Amino acid sequence: MQISPSLLSADFANLEAELKRIANADWAHVDVMDAHFVPNLTLGLPVVEALLRVSPVPIDAHLMIDDPDRWAPGYAEAGCQSVTFHIEAARDPRTLARTLRAAGARAAMALKPGTAFAPYEDLLPELDMVLVMTVEPGFGGQSFMTDQLPKVREVRDAVKRHGGEIWVQVDGGVSGPTIEQCAEAGADVFVAGSAVYGAEDAAAAVEELRALVRGHHH
């Protein structure tokens, strides 16, 4: 059960300090948005490279961008330990996942709320993680979409069938009230933005979330 605080809710003017606030987390979740795939523009590879130099925890790069086939490998090569591309944007996800793994990163596929998982189940052997978005990607601070929990369950069941060490990540509106539902549905990596960075003590917020999911093991 891993906690990956999202820098989308952090102070962009003080990212090194904000990373240090979550030194007890498992990952730092970095949202890369290109204003094309999603209606927002956040940060890109130069900033991620700078974060990699100062982050006390490994970086979980979530690429909400067009043409990940072209751009995602650079994030793996830079040293991101996990790189997530959106299945809706990838032209050749199998090759892309293999390229990410060859570059030393965990390869992950993300699904928007409106995207079904079943058509992509055959990609599981190429993947290390599946991200089920529990909000429409683009902006932080949105409300959790309970209707995505069956998809989390579906992914977890498929992972059990296929075997292998594949993590199931949830991202969007994950907080104290919703994180246990996610764990019960089969998630084991939890992205939390405002629930962590909106707290006075971000490290304590990470521990609180971790305590809430500790009892749910699959």
Task: List the catalytic residues.
Answer: 31, 171
Q: Find out whether 29 and 6 touch, Cβ atoms under 8 Å.
A: yes
Rounded distance between C-alpha atoms, residue 157 and residue 10, angstroms: 34
For 142, the token pair is 């949105």
* Tokens encoding 14: 């003080």
Nearest in space to 209 (alpha carbons), one of 181, 186, 218, 44: 181
Instruction: Quote the tokens at residue 150.
Output: 């069956």
Q: Is residue 40 classed exposed, middle or buried when 0-12, 13-18 and 19+ CB atoms within 10 A define those classes?
A: middle
Distant-in-sequence, close-in-space partners of 193: CB < 8 Å, separation ≥ 6:
5, 6, 8, 9, 29, 140, 141, 174
Between the alpha carbon of residue 104 and those of residues 51, 52, 99, the distances in Å are 18, 14, 9
Nearest residue to 192 (alpha-carbon basis) of 138, 146, 142: 142
Distance CA 206, CA 193 (A): 10
